[in-house]
Chain A
Amino acid sequence: MLPTLLRLEWRHLRRDTAFWIATAVLALAVIGGLASGFAWTRFQQETIDRARTMAEERLAAAKTDAARYRASPPDRLNPNLDPRDARGFEFSYLRRFALLPPTPAAPLAVGQSDLLPTVLRVTYRPKETFLNPYEIENPLRLLLGRFDATFVAIYLLPLGILAVSSSLLTREREAGTLALLASLPLSFRRWLAVRFLLRGGLFLGAFAMATLAGWLLFGGSLEALESVLTWLVLALLYGGFWFALSWWVGSRARTPAACALTLSGAWLAWVVILPATLNLLVRHLYPPPARAAFQDAVRHGTDEAQRRGSQLLAKYLEDHPELAPGDTPANENDFFRTRFAINAEIERLSAPLRARFGQQLSRQQSLIEQLRWLSPALVLHHHALTLAGTDRARHQRWLEAIDGLHARLVQFFEPRLLRSADFQDYDAVPVFEFSDPPPSRGALGPALAALLLPSLLFVLLGAARLRSVQP
């Protein structure tokens, strides 16, 4: 009976223009989303490559210029431009970048990688001088997120599914064909299930094909294929959830209008309202200090530290006796000693503010991770960002690696800046160390269950409801 039902449903489907238009639009949308994701990732990679090239070129230039100046010392050269001087090397030549390269699967989900920095020049100066130098982008983009494959999966895929499946039963009732169908000796539930399965299979199949074709078309890495396939499985289960919901709502609704209204309300609630409400809730429960107030406090601290420069210097030298002037003339390097003292004070002042900021963000993140199970859209979003490496957690690990580099740069440069002349440790400058942990698929199980179980529930509820159908 199943092949007959499939063949008969195919007769309907091949003439269902709306279905084919919706399928084509979705396929084009996911290809468009991938194109946008690839364009952004390419831009990020080019920026990172430029930064890397610049760092290498400047280091090579430092060595060349230093050799030239040693061979033929110039008459007058500003120490800030002299690569033989640690000051000049650090100021004019050293470009030590912390780079966060996109993962091979990054084109799947841009996430907030277009808002958060992925290239930062790290120096021995206070972190506030190089962290957060970027501008927040267009607020509209902040609200909607960049158009990418994950955006298509979360927002457009369910809309397409509702368009092609919401009225499969109610339309028959409204058109009056249900009476004839219900009088036939067939399991009505099976007939409707075949309608859903064929449409669902073709619609989601087209989505999967378009995703894989787009991935290969835009030169996506084969190394990321496992992540792409995992993303696809999650997106298809998410699609399955919407088909199951449509099946259940369709089994209860009397008219296509009531069915469409209920389903669009569910879409609005799960995809738009619930995530926005949770966002507001976590912000209300764990409000981070306002960034402006944070910057203001740091600026205040800087001014205060500079005003108390000599006082701070005395205290600083107590803590760092190895940096005391010793036999050298007392004021020769006082600028740097004072600078270090001020830097240390700024770090001391800003550390608790930054810690509070980080703590609140981490609490927000942890709460939203617990609450994400309330919405399948949030489940897919969370895992899509993790798979693409554009999640907050990866960015946080990167910022922690920047902290490490900063501490090592301070340790490296402070004594050398005081000695300043005859700097030759070009290759000993600490380098940025960041690597991604091996991928963990541990969290995938709960995500699959979170998408599968409600779908199963809706399927069973709908099936129970369809035991008998009244035309």
Chain B
Amino acid sequence: MLTARSLHKKFGSAIALHALDLNVAPGEIYALLGPNGAGKTTTINLFLGFLQPDGGSATVAGVNVALDPIRARHALAYIPEQVNLYPHFSGLENLSYFSELAGQRYAETKLRAFLQESGLQAEAHDRRVSTYSKGMRQKVGIAIALAKDAKALLLDEPTSGLDPAASHEFSALLKTLAGRGVAILMATHDLFRAKSDATRLGIMRHGRLVHELGGPEVRAADLEKLYLESIAD
């Protein structure tokens, strides 16, 4: 579903991504690990079409993002580290706004069902987003992804700043989505969450994917050790 072939990106003379090959199949949760500047966010931005690759290709559901970003985005949903919504709209209104912009128009009951499914309590649906916590905004972000009926989900540090309960709730949602066949690519620093959620893990360093391993097989302590070894200069 999400495929990178020899994906290459430079910023001036600095190589941000070096011939990345990656594939995330439907129902998979792929966690990209690595220190700041390893190329995780650049990979996500290339899949989103925010950046143009200098070589190789990023495809979403078979569509080359660089050639047809709008068609590629039909299959994508994105949850950034900070889900920033319109503060003068309620959660329900934000969901309706972004869904309609994405080309999906739902009845109010259906929109409420998406919010409910993403874990946002009913009393918050009609409250202005300016009163929401970060976790509540992330839930609206998930609801937007649900409403979009995306085949692939890109997440950039989604659990950063969430309390453990919210983080746990978020993980459960990801698993639900993966269970429905959504391909999920997640950039994160959170080894614990990556270990518990991901079906596959990739460790990046200086723009290269240096290790790739299966999530369920690896022990948390081994993952931490491998990670520290991988990022050590």
**Chain A residue total in the interface (Cβ 8 A):** 22
Tell whether A185 pairs with B93 under 8 Å between CB atoms, given A175-B84, A177-B86. no
Residues on A with beta carbons closer than 8 Å to the beta carbon of B105: 4
Most A CB atoms within 10 A — which of B51, B76, B101? B101
Tell whether A186 pairs with B102 under 8 Å between CB atoms, given A11-B93, A176-B84, A180-B144. yes
Q: Are A180 and B88 interface neighbours, CB within 8 A? A: no
Contact check: which of B48, B76, B78, B101 meets A8 at CB < 8 Å? B101
Q: How big is the B interface, by class?
A: 20 to 34
Q: Are A183 and B73 interface neighbours, CB within 8 A? A: yes
Q: What 1/0 mask marks residues of chain A from 189 to 231 whose CB sits below 8 Å from any chain B CB?
A: 0010000000000000000000000000000000000000000
Q: Are B84 and A185 interface neighbours, CB within 8 A? A: no
Q: What 1/0 mask marks residues of chain B from 45 to 76 whose CB sits below 8 Å from any chain A CB?
A: 00011111000000000000000011111101
Q: Are B85 and A177 interface neighbours, CB within 8 A? A: yes
Residue A471 CB within 8 A of the other chain:
yes
Tell whether A11 pairs with B78 under 8 Å between CB atoms, given A180-B84, A182-B48, A470-B50. no
Q: Tell me the chain B residues, 128-170 only, with Cβ under 8 Å from chain A.
A: 141, 144, 154
Q: Are B80 and A179 interface neighbours, CB within 8 A? A: yes
Residues on A with beta carbons closer than 8 Å to the beta carbon of B85: 177, 180
Residues on B with beta carbons closer than 8 Å to the beta carbon of A187: 70
Q: Are A183 and B70 interface neighbours, CB within 8 A? A: no
A463 to chain B, nearest CB (A): 16
Q: Are A15 and B88 interface neighbours, CB within 8 A? A: yes
Q: Are A184 and B97 interface neighbours, CB within 8 A? A: no
Q: Are B101 and A468 interface neighbours, CB within 8 A? A: no
Residue B103 CB within 8 A of the other chain:
yes
Cα–Cα distance between A316 and B77 once the two chains are bound (Å): 99
Residues on B with beta carbons closer than 8 Å to the beta carbon of A468: 49, 52, 69
Residues on A with beta carbons closer than 8 Å to the beta carbon of B72: 185
Residues on A with beta carbons closer than 8 Å to the beta carbon of B71: 185
Q: Are B78 and A183 interface neighbours, CB within 8 A? A: yes
Cα–Cα distance between A286 and B200 once the two chains are bound (Å): 81
Q: Are B78 and A179 interface neighbours, CB within 8 A? A: yes
A291 to chain B, nearest CB (A): 59
Q: Are B80 and A180 interface neighbours, CB within 8 A? A: yes
Contact check: which of A15, A179, A181 meets B101 at CB < 8 Å? A181
Tell whether A183 pairs with B77 under 8 Å between CB atoms, given A4-B100, A8-B100. yes
Q: Are B73 and A184 interface neighbours, CB within 8 A? A: yes
Contact check: which of B70, B77, B86, B93 meets A186 at CB < 8 Å? B70
Q: Are B76 and A183 interface neighbours, CB within 8 A? A: yes
Residue A12 CB within 8 A of the other chain:
yes
Most A CB atoms within 10 A — which of B48, B84, B105? B84
Tell whether A183 pairs with B101 under 8 Å between CB atoms, given A12-B86, A15-B88, A177-B85. no
Residues on A with beta carbons closer than 8 Å to the beta carbon of B93: 11
Contact check: which of A8, A180, A184 meets B83 at CB < 8 Å? A180
Residue B6 CB within 8 A of the other chain:
no
Q: Are A185 and B86 interface neighbours, CB within 8 A? A: no
Residues on A with beta carbons closer than 8 Å to the beta carbon of B78: 179-180, 183
Cα–Cα distance between A175 and B80 once the two chains are bound (Å): 13
Q: Are B82 and A176 interface neighbours, CB within 8 A? A: yes
Cα–Cα distance between A182 and B93 once the two chains are bound (Å): 19
Q: Tell me the chain A residues, 167-182 only, with Cβ under 8 Å from chain B.
A: 175-177, 179-182
Q: Are B98 and A180 interface neighbours, CB within 8 A? A: yes
Cα–Cα distance between A136 and B140 once the two chains are bound (Å): 67
A48 to chain B, nearest CB (A): 55
Residues on A with beta carbons closer than 8 Å to the beta carbon of B100: 4, 8
Chain B: which residue is nearest A17 at the CB level?
B88
Q: Tell me the chain A residues, 1-58 only, with Cβ under 8 Å from chain B.
A: 4-5, 8, 11-12, 15
Residues on A with beta carbons closer than 8 Å to the beta carbon of B52: 468
Q: Are B70 and A185 interface neighbours, CB within 8 A? A: yes
Q: Are B74 and A470 interface neighbours, CB within 8 A? A: no
Cα–Cα distance between A11 and B89 once the two chains are bound (Å): 9
Q: Are A184 and B98 interface neighbours, CB within 8 A? A: yes
Residues on B with beta carbons closer than 8 Å to the beta carbon of A183: 48, 73, 76-78, 154
List B residues at the A interface (Cβ < 8 Å): 48-52, 69-74, 76-78, 80, 82-89, 93, 97-98, 100-103, 105, 141, 144, 154
Top-8 shortest CB links A-B: A176-B84, A183-B78, A185-B73, A185-B74, A179-B80, A184-B102, A15-B88, A185-B70
- 14 A–B pairs (Cβ distance < 8 Å), ordered by A: A4-B100, A4-B105, A11-B93, A177-B84, A180-B85, A180-B144, A181-B98, A183-B73, A183-B76, A184-B73, A185-B71, A185-B72, A185-B103, A186-B101
Other 11 A-B pairs with CB < 8 A, given A11-B97, A180-B84, A184-B73: A15-B88, A175-B84, A175-B86, A177-B86, A180-B80, A180-B83, A181-B98, A182-B48, A185-B70, A185-B102, A471-B50
